[in-house]
Amino acid sequence: MIAIRHEDVDIGNLINEAKRPGTGAVVVFDGIVRDDDIREMELEAYEEVALKELEKIAEDAKKLHNLLHVDIVHRIGRLVVGENILIIIVSAGHRQDAYAGSRYIIEEIKKGVPIWKKELTKNGDRWVPGEHAHGKGKSC
Amino acid sequence: MTVKVRFFARFRELLGTDILLEKKSGMVLATLVRELAEKKMDGYEAIFDEKGNFREFVIVMRNGKRLELSETMTVKVADGDEIAVFPPVAGG
């Protein structure tokens, strides 16, 4: 499943579905709203473009790291502390590929996928600054 | 021609989004966004520097594809184009 959605997912079900023939390892990344003295987090996406970019990242990760299956679910909307933001589940024949593939996917998402976070605090709201100004390393 | 401009995140809060513009054909992309942003100075100043150029961190897309900022000064928008303007991304 590659998705941008408001609803959470059942991670247990996704893990079971990721166990394709030949699987020797499943790696789960679960990014969570951290309690940085915030009330809630609001996530926004350029959905049409972000979804296509997630699909491409998943395909590239499969090829580069011999993955058997990839799920990426990025949530949007208002989330409270402790809720899941981003779930990445990968399966591979060996743990090295599964770990590397999972790491590749999260780093690529942070580089360029058009999604933004706003932290809602007692003292006002603040947009989380992006780590990569130009996305995909392009000077645009 | 009709062009849609979409701002996201902080730029959306300052300038709105999904703005449909009726313009003469052949308009340069940066000029189109500049004219739109000028209507709200805080939005304009978030996106453009004192010389009227896109700030270096601003990301511009045309129909879902990123443009170099230098390209935005020469690329002409066409009927049906969707232009997106947004700050650095922060997903994950």
Which CATH number covers residue A103? 3.90.1170.40
> What is the CATH code for B2-86?
3.10.20.30
| Interface residue B74 vs chain A (CB under 8 A) | no
Number of domains in chain A: 1
Whether residue A133 is predicted with pLDDT greater than 80 in this model: the reply is no
Nearest C-alpha neighbor of B84 from the set B19, B6, B12, B26: B6
In a domain, A139, yes or no: no
Measured CA distances, B68 to A134, B40, B54, B62 (Å): 9, 25, 11, 11
Per the structure, the complete domain to which residue A54 belongs is given by: 2-127
pLDDT, tens digit (0-9, with 9 covering 90-100), for B39-55: 999 999 999 999 999 99
DSSP state of B48: B
Put simply, whether B59 touches A (Cβ < 8 Å) is: yes
Contacts of B68 in chain A (CB under 8 A): 138-140
pLDDT tens profile A36-65: 889 999 999 999 999 999 999 999 999 999
Q: Which of B8, B9, B66 sits opposite A140 (nearest CB)?
A: B66
In a domain, A42, yes or no: yes
pLDDT < 50 positions in chain B: none
Average pLDDT, chain A: 93
Q: Is residue A43 included in any domain, yes or no?
A: yes
- pLDDT surpasses 50 at A135: no
Residue A105 host element (H or E): helix A95-112
pLDDT at B26: 87
Residues in chain A: 140
Chain A touched by B8 (CB under 8 Å) = yes
Task: Name the pLDDT band for A79 (thresholds 50, 70, 90).
Answer: very high
